[in-house]
Amino acid sequence: MENKLIKVNPDDNVLVALSDVFAGETVMFNGVEFTAKTNVKAKHKMAETDFMPGDSIIMYGVLVGKAFLPILRGEVITTENVKHQSEEVHGKTGTLPWSPPNVDRWKDRTFMGYHRADGQVGTKNVWLFFPLVFCENKNIEKLKEIFENELLPKKEVSYKLFLRSLIEEKSVEEVAAKEPDPNLLDNIEVKFINHQGGCGGIRQDSELLAKLLAGYVNNPNVAGATVLSLGCQNLQIDIFKNALKEMSTNRQKQVLIYEQQQIGTTDKMFQMVIKDSFEAIKRANKIPRQPAPLSKLSIGLECGGSDGFSGISANPALGVVSDIFAALGGKTILAEFPELCGVEQELMNRCVDSEKADKFLGLMKAFEKSVVDAGSGFDMNPSPGNIKDGLITDAMKSAGAAKKGGTAPIVDVLDYGEYISKPGLNLLNTPGNDAECTTGLVGAGATVVLFTTGLGNPMGNPIAPVVKIASNTAVVQKMSDIIDINAGTVITGEKTIQEVGEEIVEYIIDLASGNVETKADQLKQDVFIPWKRGVSL
């Protein structure tokens, strides 16, 4: 009998199916035979013992649910027989010890990054265009068309040239020969973002958006920015400038701001914007890559489209990465607070002091209360895709998601819109929503985002590379155009979690140096969606 079952933690009372197990089939685990009472699909959980209603379901060594109906040994765990339940939280009750990993292999390594005046080092060199209010979105889109078509032909996907070749009845090579000089701006990317905020809602949302946009300008991947304002919106220019000033006093980046109601016609504004921005972009294009220690990297940790293998392969591999960078003096950021539900006690005990622990618990409770006030709850967090692939309770999903943060002490806790400053593992309050989370991680200073997925997700970010790490080999084979690294080799036994983690570290160094490009960047998956917490007015 092949090994079809594993137990994630010795204290667990459920087993995970590595491949499909069929009703009546006898399988072996640790020398003990189990006869499946029902079909158990790969990634789903089988009861290791009989459960009565009210009995605790333990996975990853923590409470992830309670039996709702009687469950027989060998029967599949489902949303019909188990309900979400998580451990009670009692505040910081102790401090968990940490043994840093041996990082001799990387302590003298460097990456080729873009050094900024404030001491930060970027993995990209981006000139960013964005509006302070949604009223300027169309103008940003027009500028995007102008700059991308005229200045960055090398960034265009081949489909544009292919279509033009069909229209002109010429070869792609003949059409491409007409394109402007591809080396005109060979050391900078020009990116454009828009949003639906800045006015028409509560003032707190505009202030939060100002902090987020300031974080994007402050991110070392950004060389400078062009900002469009209408003039009458909630998010006034002064609010944005103050947010930027509070975030960094030694920025020295050029930020060009234009207010349409003060300038006059669109034509007049466009001529100013194009002329000034082009000159600034040319200057930024001259910024060279230079060696920097790995401690200058800031790594965002995220999951999306998770499955029953995410918490067994890809997420623990990111935990290895997080611990390595923490030991090297780098910064890592664990987000998605709804997906930390059930592991709060462990995380609080990992906080370096009670102040950080209390802030974490306060943010968690406030977030959960807002969800309950809206008529829902954290227990509604698992998506249909999560449930279909074995993550049947929020606590089960959270216990696996938290593995991305490794075991290092938590040096700081940040609310959405706050910017990282301390080396080590940081917690950032974001939703589990993939786009809002990634947007928040980069706004907090992440220069690379590691994104684990079991079902596949193409999303990227305008200014930071988003690395997709698959939890299983099947999704790599099915969606090879969006996956960068395969952690499914852990499930097949080809590699250990440690080996995959070290593979990711090496990939990050290459990526940060500009030697490789993520699939999301190749596909131009530039997603920017801020977290809107309030109502529209």
Q: Looking at the domain assignment, is residue 205 inside a domain?
A: yes
CATH number at residue 51: 2.30.130.110
Over its length of 537 residues, how does the chain's per-residue pLDDT go in tens digits?
457 888 888 898 999 888 899 999 999 888 888 899 999 998 899 999 999 999 999 988 888 889 999 999 999 999 999 998 888 888 888 888 899 999 999 999 999 999 999 999 999 999 999 999 999 999 999 999 888 876 654 444 455 566 667 767 888 778 777 655 555 678 999 999 999 999 988 899 999 999 999 999 999 999 999 999 999 999 999 999 999 999 876 678 999 999 999 999 998 999 999 999 989 999 999 999 999 999 999 999 999 988 889 999 999 999 999 999 999 999 999 999 988 988 999 999 999 999 999 999 999 999 988 888 888 877 666 778 787 767 778 788 888 889 999 999 999 999 999 999 999 999 999 999 999 999 999 999 999 999 999 999 999 999 999 999 999 999 999 999 999 999 999 999 999 999 999 999 999 999 999 999 999 999 999 999 999 887 776
Query: Is 272 found in the same domain as 335?
Result: no
Query: Is 330 found in the same domain as 254?
Result: no
Please report which helix (H) or strand (E) contains residue 17, including its range: strand 14-17
Query: Is 210 found in the same domain as 138?
Result: yes
Query: Is 190 found in the same domain as 70?
Result: no
Count of the separate structural domains present in the chain:
3
**Which alpha helices (DSSP H) does 232-373 contain, by range?**
237-247, 260-263, 266-284, 314-328, 344-350, 354-373
Residue 74's alpha-carbon distances to 3, 4, 144, in angstroms, are 15, 13, 57
Q: Looking at the domain assignment, is residue 510 inside a domain?
A: yes
CATH number at residue 144: 3.40.50
Query: Is 457 found in the same domain as 333?
Result: yes
Query: Is 261 found in the same domain as 184?
Result: yes
Q: Looking at the domain assignment, is residue 453 inside a domain?
A: yes
Q: Which of 59, 83, 107 is the C-terminal boundary of a domain?
A: 83
Q: Looking at the domain assignment, is residue 258 inside a domain?
A: yes
Cα–Cα distance for residue pair 102/100, rounded to 1 Å: 7
Q: Which of 29, 51, 83 is the C-terminal boundary of a domain?
A: 83
Q: Which of 64, 83, 102 is the C-terminal boundary of a domain?
A: 83
Q: Looking at the domain assignment, is residue 41 inside a domain?
A: yes
Give the structural domain span for 220: 126-286
Query: Is 456 found in the same domain as 427?
Result: yes
Query: Is 422 found in the same domain as 310?
Result: yes
Please report which helix (H) or strand (E) contains residue 58, including its range: strand 56-59
Measured CA angle at 531 (ends 527, 536), to 5 deg:
115
Q: Looking at the domain assignment, is residue 366 inside a domain?
A: yes
Query: Is 336 found in the same domain as 243?
Result: no
Encoded amino acid at 415, one letter: D
Q: Looking at the domain assignment, is residue 94 inside a domain?
A: no
